[in-house]
Structure 1
Amino acid sequence: MKKISHKLILGMLMVTILSVGILWLYQTVFLERNYMNSRVEILKRSTEELTELYNTEPDSFVENAEKLFMERNIATEVSSVDGQILYSSGNTMGRGQASGFRVLRGDYLEELLRSGEATTTTIHQRQNTELFTYSMLLEDRETVITTSLPIEPINETINILKRQLLNISLILIVVSILIGTFFSRFFLRPIRKLNQSVNALAAGDMETRVDVETSDEIGELSGNFNKMAEQLSKVDRLRKDLVANVSHELRTPLGLIRGYAEMSKDIHRDDPQSREENLDIIIEESERLGRMVDEMLDMSRIQSGNMDLWQEEIDIMELAQSSVNKYSIMAEDKNIKLSVMGEKESFNVWVDRRRMEQVFHNLLSNAITHTENGNIDIVLTEKKNVLRVDIRDTGSGIPLDQIDHIWDRYYKINNSNRAIGGSGIGLSITKAIFEAHDIKFGVESTPGRGSDFYFEIPINK
């Protein structure tokens, strides 16, 4: 049985069969016993109440005995232990059924005298009715109060109940199958839809989603499926972007390396100067290719959550100046003036030096890429034990409709950095480093006037 619907219907059927079985067991095994026990309890309570009245209120005793006979068909008889009848209820109407004088003998009498009470069944001589009889010996040990109650034919009642229970059992089995079928269709409908969406997702349809119709566990599962599908869709888009970017970005330096290597071998083999220039280009493109591979590996580690931080106390002013020095030649080639400005000569912060060096590399490289004949300033400002670092440039700026996407992986502003070999993941790596350090960061930009990338770090006093 593989289908949940069949299991659900079978479960409903088993519950019904178990319930009916318990009813059958109770009816055939315990009903008669419980019936007899209830008769005993009724007689005992009635006899105890009458005994109390006989000892305290004799007038009320007769009234209550007659009332008990009329309302509950319980006959009462007061007699001596030798069988002499002192009172018998119901005789005035010719319906007397008391049997005390007939049972007060033999083993029954011995039991009564020994324990103070006795119980037996007897047959009414005139009415041929089986009676259940209970006797209680009074404190004087000479007087006995006996009550009797007809035992109604219970076998016929049991047979009637059996027939009725059989009919009810058949009805319950049919109803349980119908209810199980209804609920299986009702509950399994969202599961079937979810299963269809899972199959569609497995077949490559990344846009498939499930309508969340309920707020129960199935609805929660549907919502989680939609979240998973959304994440898989993003991963799929990133994968496609990665393949497209890697194929494009790596093809360019590889093509240049191969082209200049062939030129050095076939064309400029006898021209040392040209061969030297070709080799410089090959080295430059190899370094560029290596940087791109390193960035992609960094991005892969970040995505897998394996970015380790080795934090130490460093002078961020010295690190900023060191980074500027590395880019001075590149800046001179584009007629850019680089500078570091701060209110103090040093600012000590607790960060991962290698990662923060990578931040300055990415932000300065990005600023130089988009600046021509301008200025790039690193400004350090302290305010309330927080150091704000601004990397400001006078470059082309960022279009307003793209400023929210610059931190995304493989995003390129108007494809501008394709021409200079950017991989489109530098700012994404920078963002991950900031988040790993729990550093507040952001960007402000005006198209045509430049950009200001900033971040804030607590200062170690």
Structure 2
Amino acid sequence: MKKDEIKQKRPFAPGIQWQLMLFIGGITLFTLLLVWGIITYALEPQYNRNIRAKLDSKAAAITALIDQSDAEISSRTYQGLYLNDEFWSGVSQTFRDKKINVDGNCVDFSDSTLRCLKAYESMYPCLLHESTGAFGGEFGYNLDTRIAIQLRQKLFQDGSLYQIVKIGSSMQMCVGRLSADGQYGVIVSASLAQITTAAEVLRAILGPVALILLVLDLLLAILFSRWFTNPIRKLSNGAQEIASGNYDVQIKVERHDEIGRLAEDFNHMAAEVKRSAQLEKDILANVSHDLRTPLTLIKGYAETVRDLTGSDDAKRTEQCNIIVDETNRLSTLVNSVMELSKVQSGAERPNLVDFDMSDLCFEVAGRYDALCDKNHWQLDLQANEPCPVSADPAMMERVMHNLLGNAFHHIGADGVVVLRAIPQEKGCRIEIEDHGPGIPPEDLPYIFDRYYRARQDSGRTGTGLGLSITKAILQQHGFAFGVDSAVGRGSTFWFEMKDTRK
């Protein structure tokens, strides 16, 4: 399928660049709306709660002073008198020592007649005590204003006071408490104009700030998304190249994060795809050749028997035997290909049972007695200790036959092949050793690949699939396997089995 056709079939969806821009823009708008909501609905109430808590604390501390002074007056039998000069002197000293900080507050003392006994002012303007006087002269205060009397009345009626007074654009929070005997009241107040002004200023500048931030975020999102998606576009182009049949694609790794690791994995995948494609070509060529040879012989000898030697019993028998041998060879090749396909596709799953691998080694080794006697070879079996394992015995038997067949195929001048079963802590290790020509180092990584033949094996008979089937079976079981080899000294194929009972 062509690149343009693939694009036409893709459903429309915004790219990563647009998604990043939308995401960052959305986060910015959400943050700005959150800030606006906090300024509008949470800033002023929270500020008022904090101011009220502070005013409550100051009112409680001042009424405690009144209760203490009242107790002292009672002990001196000055009953029925108002708070005296000694008390006001003590209160003033307490304020000066900052034991009760009333800076920026108005403190109003009154009694049950609702008249003001004393007032401390460090706030201007004060809505409770109207200021009097001219600019440049002395200021005075009207301590018994209508608002102050109303607040005192509410305090003595309810026992406590919390009220926000608003005149024009000025607001003032008032908190009041009564003394323990209920004869004296204290009203502490603070201005709220500053928080209202601050909220209005913040809301006024939030719009321009939001616009500037949104523009900056979108510009940064464009730059970041281009930088972020550039390696992804390279990977996409590389994947399309591979899809079109170009397997020589390698992406330059410029980063060391997740995208950099993805590029490394892509390069590894491309190399494996290239090697797999080449291997498939080799398999097709080799299988075609191996199929063509017996089919040609079968056809040739069948035609000869039909046309020339049908009446010659000896020649007919010889040629029919050749046809049978080539048919068996063809059948072996087809069976090997089918077996490899079933194992690799998962159609044939291992049937795990517990058994002694040493016993299976003895059984398999016994089947090579006739071959060894005929060729004067020796199979040295070293499996004297029990090796309990969990595996599919039939598959393990197939693995050992493949490895032993490969070992005898490359047997050395001494004619010895060694089969070892070595017990391990959790299973056993099986080794099959020959003393043949060995495997060159450059061939070792590919020795288990399908239809791979080392250079010294070129031209030898065989399907070339035995080690591939072995690899597939051992991978299905999850067993480790490998080969140790040195040129001129032979090879040792090994695999390690597990015992799940331990």
RMSD: 4.4
What is aligned with 2:91? Answer: 61
Q: How does 1:228-377 map to 2 (within 5 A)?
A: 228-304=269-345, 306=348, 308=350, 314=359, 316-317=361-362, 319-325=364-370, 336-340=375-379, 352=393, 356=397, 359-360=400-401, 363-364=404-405, 367=408, 376-377=415-416
Inter-CA distance 307–243: structure 2 relative to 1 (3 Å threshold) = farther
Q: Does 1:5 align with 2:17?
A: yes
Counterpart-to-counterpart distance in 2, 1:134 and 1:100: 17
Q: Is the 8 A contact 2:65 2:91 kept in 1?
A: yes
Q: TM-score, normalised by structure 1?
A: 0.76
Q: TM-score, normalised by structure 2?
A: 0.71
- SS in structure 2 of the partner of residue 209 of structure 1: coil
Q: Does 1:50 align with 2:90?
A: no
Q: How does 1:66-215 map to 2 (within 5 A)?
A: 72-90=103-121, 94-97=138-141, 99-100=143-144, 102-103=146-147, 105=149, 108-120=151-163, 131-152=172-193, 157-215=198-256
Inter-CA distance 315–398: structure 2 relative to 1 (3 Å threshold) = closer
Once the two structures are TM-superposed, the CA of residue 255 in structure 1 deviates from its matched residue by 1.0
Using the TM superposition, name which of 291-300 and 420-429 deviates more: 420-429
Q: How does 1:415-454 map to 2 (within 5 A)?
A: 416=457, 418=459, 420-430=460-470, 442=483, 447=488, 451=490
Once the two structures are TM-superposed, the CA of residue 281 in structure 1 deviates from its matched residue by 0.9
Counterpart-to-counterpart distance in 2, 1:130 and 1:357: 95
Q: Which amino acid aligns with 1:252?
A: T
Inter-CA distance 33–338: structure 2 relative to 1 (3 Å threshold) = closer
Using the TM superposition, name which of 349-358 and 298-307 deviates more: 349-358
Counterpart-to-counterpart distance in 2, 1:151 and 1:342: 99
Inter-CA distance 457–216: structure 2 relative to 1 (3 Å threshold) = closer
Using the TM superposition, name which of 274-283 and 97-106 deviates more: 97-106
Using the TM superposition, name which of 131-140 and 262-271 deviates more: 131-140
Q: Is the 8 A contact 2:439 2:485 kept in 1?
A: no
Counterpart-to-counterpart distance in 1, 2:144 and 2:113: 11
Once the two structures are TM-superposed, the CA of residue 287 in structure 1 deviates from its matched residue by 0.8
Inter-CA distance 257–347: structure 2 relative to 1 (3 Å threshold) = farther
Counterpart-to-counterpart distance in 1, 2:101 and 2:495: 98
- SS in structure 1 of the partner of residue 415 of structure 2: strand
Q: Is the 8 A contact 1:79 1:86 kept in 2?
A: yes
Once the two structures are TM-superposed, the CA of residue 244 in structure 1 deviates from its matched residue by 1.4
Inter-CA distance 421–255: structure 2 relative to 1 (3 Å threshold) = farther
Q: Which amino acid aligns with 2:193?
A: E
Q: Is the 8 A contact 1:363 1:453 kept in 2?
A: no
- SS in structure 1 of the partner of residue 193 of structure 2: coil
Q: Which amino acid aligns with 1:184?
A: S
Counterpart-to-counterpart distance in 2, 1:244 and 1:28: 79
Once the two structures are TM-superposed, the CA of residue 217 in structure 1 deviates from its matched residue by 4.0
- SS in structure 2 of the partner of residue 118 of structure 1: strand
Count residues with an aligned counterpart. 441
Inter-CA distance 268–402: structure 2 relative to 1 (3 Å threshold) = farther
Describe the superposition over 1:3-27 as per-residue Cα deviations: whole angstroms up to 9, x where unpaired. Answer: 1211211122222222222333344
- SS in structure 1 of the partner of residue 337 of structure 2: helix
Inter-CA distance 402–85: structure 2 relative to 1 (3 Å threshold) = closer
Percent of pairs with identical residues: 24
Describe the superposition over 1:255-307 as per-residue Cα deviations: whole angstroms up to 9, x where unpaired. Answer: 11111112222232343322222111111111111112222223334434546
Describe the superposition over 1:141-165 as per-residue Cα deviations: whole angstroms up to 9, x where unpaired. Answer: 2222233444537766554333211
Q: Is the 8 A contact 1:343 1:381 kept in 2?
A: yes
Describe the superposition over 1:223-250 as per-residue Cα deviations: whole angstroms up to 9, x where unpaired. Answer: 4434433443333232122111101111
Q: Is the 8 A contact 1:84 1:101 kept in 2?
A: no
- SS in structure 2 of the partner of residue 208 of structure 1: coil
Q: Is the 8 A contact 2:387 2:421 kept in 1?
A: no
Q: Is the 8 A contact 1:75 1:97 kept in 2?
A: no
Inter-CA distance 247–98: structure 2 relative to 1 (3 Å threshold) = farther
Inter-CA distance 114–223: structure 2 relative to 1 (3 Å threshold) = farther
Using the TM superposition, name which of 251-260 and 292-301 deviates more: 292-301
Once the two structures are TM-superposed, the CA of residue 206 in structure 1 deviates from its matched residue by 2.6
- SS in structure 2 of the partner of residue 75 of structure 1: strand
Counterpart-to-counterpart distance in 2, 1:452 and 1:66: 99
Q: Which amino acid aligns with 2:304?
A: M
Q: Which amino acid aligns with 1:243?
A: L
Counterpart-to-counterpart distance in 2, 1:16 and 1:190: 26
Q: Does 1:22 align with 2:52?
A: no
Inter-CA distance 160–456: structure 2 relative to 1 (3 Å threshold) = closer
What is aligned with 2:128? Answer: none
Q: How does 1:369-408 map to 2 (within 5 A)?
A: 376-378=415-417, 397-398=437-438, 400-401=440-441, 404=444, 406-408=447-449
Inter-CA distance 86–208: structure 2 relative to 1 (3 Å threshold) = same
Once the two structures are TM-superposed, the CA of residue 399 in structure 1 deviates from its matched residue by 6.0
Q: Which amino acid aligns with 2:120?
A: S
Unaligned runs of 5+ in 1: none
